[in-house]
Amino acid sequence: MNGNILQTPIDYLKGVGPNRADLLRKELGIHTYQDLINLFPNRYIDRTQYYKINQLQQNASEVQVVGKITNLKEVAQKRGKRLVATFQDDTGTMEFVWFRGHKWIRDSIKLNTPYVAFGKVNWFNGRFSIPHPELELVAEHEKNLRSAMQAVYPSTEKLSNKGITNRVIIKIIQQLFLETKGKFTETLSKDLIEEQKLLSKSEALFNVHFPKSQSLLAHAQFRLKFEELFYIQLQLILKNLIHKSKIKGFPFKKVGNHFNTFFKDHLPFELTNAQKRVIKEIRHDLGSNAQMNRLLQGDVGSGKTIVALMSMLIAIDNGFQACLMAPTEILSVQHYNNLKEQCKKLNISIKLLTGSTKTLERRKIHESLENGKLNILIGTHALLEDKVKFKNLGLAIIDEQHRFGVAQRSKLWKKGPTSREVGGAVPPHILVMTATPIPRTLAMSVYGDLDISIIDELPPGRKEIKTVHRFDKNRLQVFRFIRDEIKKGRQVYIVYPLIQESSAMDYKDLMDGYESISRDFPMPEYQISIVHGKMKAADKDYEMQRFAKGETQIMVATTVIEVGVNVPNASVMIIESAERFGLSQLHQLRGRVGRGAEQSYCILMTGHKLSNDSRTRLETMVSTNDGFEIAEVDLKLRGPGDIMGTQQSGVLNLKIADIVKDKDILQQARFYAKRVLSQDPTLSSTDNKVILNTYKQLSKYKNIWNYIS
């Protein structure tokens, strides 16, 4: 069946017509035959069994009964009337009830004629009834394209109100199968189908809409999910291959003096095996002729910064400059102080550029960047200004990249040096770092075109943070615990939720909390810092600095401290109303402590009323410190769109597969997509022709291929 008939507008399908077509477009996004065939059922109902009235149970299940309607009457009720029919078979009688559409139903019902009725059974006033049953004459029922499991399709209130019921949708899909004779172009290669023992495309589509048995339904779903995920993976891997072959990067051929001196003499601690592995992967990328495009994931405190520094030293050893861009001023200052400290014995010049850098200092930075004297520039969005010109930027590192838009990242690209061979700017190598662990399945689907490195072990000497959940009634014990920790010379964070919609309420919560803490921890014995969104940036920084220097023991804050503040002496994190936070946020906040050698604690405070999801979140936090495990639970609770934020959610507009439930199929699909492309990168072999054609069709008719940043 050629693909073109599937691009026919839905208006032309028999039984649809302009009004229905309009509704289907607006409500379900169905424009063409193709969209209709890809409207997959939400669930299925077993239609193989017919019940006798005397076999019905009082359990509100969906059933099919066969019998005749002997009588119709209208019954007055509080509002308007209801239409009641008496229905009987050879074992007894029951009622059918309609609350609307009386006239149309009266006109269409034939009395004393055998019907198959289907619907949800109610037990009311001592007898069974079915409200709004689906009715079909037995004669029609026997003629129809029937299957063991009846599909239930996605619908909306508007569709039901306009008479486009599930039965109507089944009818128009039947019509589509009649018009296409149920024959659909194959979209996967013979090899793949044989090796994976997949159903053919035509069989899969038929059995997903009209399953002949449970087993065929399962095979059909597997085949269609595999195909959908296979093409997404193929697209991502191809993008990566094209990137590597088309986008040249400067090859950093040598590992020189700076890198070696630092590695031998100045490493502050022994690298973990994970860090060594990641540095090897980065060195391999930098040494090839292609531009590096790598995502570095590592939990809070896993030592990403030292990996970033060593990558920058490779750039400097090869005569290039490097930059590191962070989303906030606090974070960039922290990176700057950290790197400056590490490099003080290596003759390297490092500068910091943020919104608050003074004009004179800016001029000096611009000048030393352009003449190449400045090796490393660290900063915020200020790095993207047009005035900031590098002599030869070879490596750009972006921290917490989800905070930067695509346009901002592309500005960094254009700051690379120009090269005669390429005849234009050569983009710097790019390393993107994130402390937000992304579940593997999501990373494969969203960042599948980046190479991914993971640091999955903590540096030695770090103690695991102990996490406990306490209710409000335990507050006095918690305060006693805080006093003991402060006596030992430790510091404490107390964080309140920040929910944008009600900043007045948040502020009140924070202020009430601050007052009660001030009462329990009075001056001069205790000093308390407070930080919240209504403060000026300079005041926030001042309070943060006081806490960092150890002048205050307690920091009361809304979540502004989520990213980046490093106070090794802070050993207790108390999260108030912890049930109001998402899992990844709780995990990020917990990562603010446990940065020194002391045992650290995270205390989750909540009220007594907790939803199931909140309970799951709290239990997960108490049971594990592993960011990836937490991210998996988060993905199950929130779904992919939420985790990636709206700007990325288009990526997961899947028709039948589900990233969370079908992660095994996703891994298989990625494996096969990689294998096909490694054996035949241009998909030009006879066997892969069908894959190439399908890929081109998808790119042509679907706009799902432009979603990856």
Long-range residue pairs from 631-634, CB within 8 A, at least 24 positions apart, any chain: 631/436, 631/437, 631/438, 631/439, 631/442, 631/583, 631/584, 632/439, 633/583, 634/439, 634/582, 634/583, 634/584
Reply yes or no: is the peptide bond before residue 524 cis, omega within 30 of 0.
yes
- What pLDDT does residue 507 have? 62
Residue (of 301, 412, 440, 486) closest to 709 by Cα position: 412
Is residue 232 assigned to a domain? Answer: no
Q: Please give the Cα distance from 342 to 337 (Å, whole number).
A: 9
Span of 286-295, 303-312, 563-572, 590-599 with lowest mean pLDDT: 563-572
Say if residues 340 and 266 touch (Cβ distance below 8 Å). no
536 and 490 inside one domain: yes
Is residue 297 assigned to a domain? Answer: no
Is residue 328 assigned to a domain? Answer: yes
472 and 423 inside one domain: no
407 and 508 inside one domain: no
Is residue 330 assigned to a domain? Answer: yes
327 and 429 inside one domain: yes
- What pLDDT does residue 707 have? 34
Instruction: Look at residues 624, 656, 680 and tell me which one is the last residue of a structural domain.
Output: 624
What single-letter DSSP state applies at residue 465?
Answer: P
Q: What is the CATH number of the domain that holds 354?
A: 3.40.50.300
Mean of the per-residue pLDDT values of the chain = 85
Range of the domain at 280: 257-287+302-434
How many folded domains does the chain comprise?
3
Q: Please give the Cα distance from 304 to 454 (Å, whole number).
A: 10
Judged against a pLDDT cut of 50, whether residue 39 lies above it is answered with yes
- Per the model's pLDDT, the better-predicted residue between 83 and 534 turns out to be 83
- The pairing of beta strand 451-455 with beta strand 376-379: unpaired
Residue-wise pLDDT for 694-709, tens only, equals 998 887 755 443 333 3
478 and 595 inside one domain: yes
Residue type, 502: S
The distance from CA 21 to its chain's CA centroid, rounded to whole angstroms, is 33
| 484 strand-pairing partners | none
- What pLDDT does residue 649 have? 37
Instruction: Look at residues 624, 648, 678 and tell me which one is the last residue of a structural domain.
Output: 624
Judged against a pLDDT cut of 80, whether residue 399 lies above it is answered with yes
612 and 476 inside one domain: yes
Is residue 18 assigned to a domain? Answer: no
- Tokens 């999260």 identify what position? 575
Is residue 246 assigned to a domain? Answer: no
The distance from CA 707 to its chain's CA centroid, rounded to whole angstroms, is 13
The arithmetic mean of pLDDT across residues 526-538, rounded, is 83
The winner for highest mean pLDDT among 55-59, 244-248, 304-308 is: 304-308
The distance from CA 306 to its chain's CA centroid, rounded to whole angstroms, is 28
With a CB cutoff of 8 Å and minimum separation 6, the contacts of 295 are 401, 432, 434, 443, 447, 450, 451, 452, 453
Residue (of 115, 155, 113, 152) closest to 134 by Cα position: 115
Tokens of 560: 């502004």
- The pairing of beta strand 418-419 with beta strand 376-379: unpaired
- The pairing of beta strand 114-120 with beta strand 92-98: unpaired
Say if residues 626 and 302 touch (Cβ distance below 8 Å). no
Is residue 500 assigned to a domain? Answer: yes
Residue-wise pLDDT for 480-511, tens only, equals 999 999 999 999 999 988 655 455 666 667 78
Residue-wise pLDDT for 650-666, tens only, equals 445 678 887 777 878 98
Per DSSP, the three-state class of 356 is coil
Say if residues 29 and 204 touch (Cβ distance below 8 Å). no
Q: Provide the whole-model pTM.
A: 0.66
The arithmetic mean of pLDDT across residues 619-636, rounded, is 85
Q: Please give the Cα distance from 328 to 540 (Å, whole number).
A: 13
DSSP per residue, 141-203: HHHS---SEEEE----HHHHHTT--HHHHHHHHHHHHHHTTT-----S-HHHHHHHTPPPHHH
Q: Please give the Cα distance from 169 to 233 (Å, whole number).
A: 32
423 and 475 inside one domain: no
- What pLDDT does residue 708 have? 33
388 and 481 inside one domain: no
Judged against a pLDDT cut of 80, whether residue 217 lies above it is answered with yes
Q: Which helix (H) or strand (E) holds 169?
A: helix 166-179
394 and 479 inside one domain: no
517 and 620 inside one domain: yes
403 and 271 inside one domain: yes
Long-range residue pairs from 402-405, CB within 8 A, at least 24 positions apart, any chain: 402/434, 402/436, 402/644, 402/645, 403/327, 404/325, 404/327, 405/647
Tokens of 79: 């509002």
Q: What is the CATH number of the domain that holds 84?
A: 2.40.50.140
Is residue 41 assigned to a domain? Answer: no
Residue (of 189, 144, 194, 190) closest to 170 by Cα position: 144
Q: Please give the Cα distance from 420 to 423 (Å, whole number).
A: 5
Alpha helices in 414-529 (DSSP H): 440-446, 475-487, 503-520
Say if residues 149 and 215 touch (Cβ distance below 8 Å). no
Instruction: Look at residues 145, 180, 206 and tell me which one is the last residue of a structural domain.
Output: 145
- The pairing of beta strand 122-124 with beta strand 127-131: antiparallel
341 and 381 inside one domain: yes
Q: Please give the Cα distance from 433 to 326 (Å, whole number).
A: 10
